[in-house]
Amino acid sequence: MSIKTNTATALVDVRGPRFVAWVTTAVLVATLLLSAVSPLAAAALLGVQAVVFAIGAALGPRRHPYGVVFATVVAPRLSPATEKEPVPPLKFAQLVGFVFAVLGVAGFAAGIPLLGAVATGFALVAAFLNAAFGICLGCQIYPLVARLT
């Protein structure tokens, strides 16, 4: 869900959320690989990612830990943004990621590794779709949820 605009109010460079999604994809793949060796270690790593999702959901993409890395390290090396997207759907997508991460942590920590793996897998699919193809599932669901509230 991208829009072209010159207005900077509540809009962010689309490349930032895609960078965030690539980093998230890597963390979630590492979580699944780690879960085969130690479900508790996977729970800890996924717990850190859950905190990252919570920060993104509460504070938005500009203050998201991976978003800060994008803004300070990556963005200065890129050409100016030509495409931007609104912040509220991105915050909602982070909230959805947070919910799946919490379910995954609970599964791994409670000795239900299948729950942990499935929840992590759902988050991974969503992150990868955004990273590789620019398809933000949470952003697609956001208008439906916004109408209900």
Domain positions in the chain: 12-148
104 residue type, one letter? G
Secondary structure (DSSP) of 18-87: HHHHHHHHHHHHHHHHHHTT-HHHHHHHHHHHHHHHHHHHHH-TTTSHHHHHIIIIIGGGSPPPS-EEEH
**Which residues, at least 6 apart from 91, have a Cβ–Cβ distance to it below 8 Å?**
56, 57, 58, 60, 61
The per-residue pLDDT for 111 is 97
Per-residue pLDDT 10s for the chain (149 aa) are 444 444 445 899 999 999 999 999 999 999 999 999 999 999 999 999 999 999 999 999 999 999 999 999 999 999 999 999 999 999 999 999 999 999 999 999 999 999 999 999 999 999 999 999 999 999 999 999 999 98
The pLDDT value given to residue 149: 82
Q: Give the pLDDT score at 8.
A: 45
**pLDDT at residue 9, rounded to an integer:** 58
Indicate the SS3 state at residue 12.
strand
Query: Up-side HSE of residue 69: CA atoms within 13 Å toward CB?
Result: 11
The conformation of residue 102, written as its DSSP 8-state character, comes to: H
